Amino acid sequence: GIQVEQSPPDLILQEGANSTLRCNFSDSVNNLQWFHQNPWGQLINLFYIPSGTKQNGRLSATTVATERYSLLYISSSQTTDSGVYFCAVPVTGGFKTIFGAGTRLFVKA
Amino acid sequence: SAVISQKPSRDICQRGTSLTIQCQVDSQVTMMFWYRQQPGQSLTLIATANQGSEATYESGFVIDKFPISRPNLTFSTLTVSNMSPEDSSIYLCSAMTGGLGYTFGSGTRLTVV
């Protein structure tokens, strides 16, 4: 089945710094999502981005489907950005979603 | 996109007991999904629940341990049966809503003692 790899696994930033998180996937996909899981466990949908680029405030995401990767950019990071960032893609030909292992981000004040 | 209400948000349960988790969607959805997230791990799909049919379970998950109900197009329950400490996890429900990907409930943090 499709494999999803995220990097880096862990990231520590000073508040105000920028970062790029990467998601590689092993098969073509027709959609991709980025989620932020806050320290209370709630999973927040950041982007639904099967291709192209989207921006939402300090966050933006780019998916290059032909090259099988997606990037999540966080600019001017804040302590509230801490948590785990997951990318998720659908199983080929189905409706099930497979999650990457996540990037654990800690932003220091 | 739709909103999914999940409860309870957390619980501490004795081993050998069962807990039922409920998810209510504010719009009709064809499929709902149940995930488990063990401490420090990613999300793993338990089963897919369609209204009017039995749930489809992923490898490693069985109906006797995780019975699921889907009585209508807006509601589903997951029961964690005969719990052991290894069942301590976050359980999340999900649905595809509005054609913009998947939305998740707020999760149930379960601790089994």
**Sign of the CA dihedral running A107, A24, A96, B37:** negative
**CA-based nearest residue to A74, from A62, A66, A90, A64:** A62
Express each pLDDT in A40-94 by its tens digit: 888 999 999 999 999 999 999 999 999 999 999 999 999 999 999 999 998 876 7
Query: What confidence score (pLDDT) does residue B66 get?
Result: 98
Query: What confidence score (pLDDT) does residue A25 get?
Result: 95
> Which whole-number Å values give the CA distances from B27 to B6, B23, B24, B50, in the listed order?
14, 12, 9, 15
Query: What confidence score (pLDDT) does residue B26 get?
Result: 95
B29 neighbourhood in chain A, CB within 8 Å: none
Closest residue to A99, CB basis, from B1, B42, B107? B42
CB A44 within 8 A of CB A35: yes
How high is the mean pLDDT in each 10-residue block of chain B (113 residues)? Answer: 92 98 95 95 94 90 97 96 98 86 93 98
Residue A55 pairs with which residues in a beta bridge?
A60
Chain B contact for A83 (CB, 8 A cutoff): no
Report the C-alpha gap between A17 and B112 in whole angstroms.
39
Query: What confidence score (pLDDT) does residue A39 get?
Result: 86
Closest residue to A95, CB basis, from B31, B42, B43? B31
Query: What confidence score (pLDDT) does residue A37 get?
Result: 96
B42 neighbourhood in chain A, CB within 8 Å: 86, 99-102
Residue B14: count of CB within 10 angstroms of its CB: 8
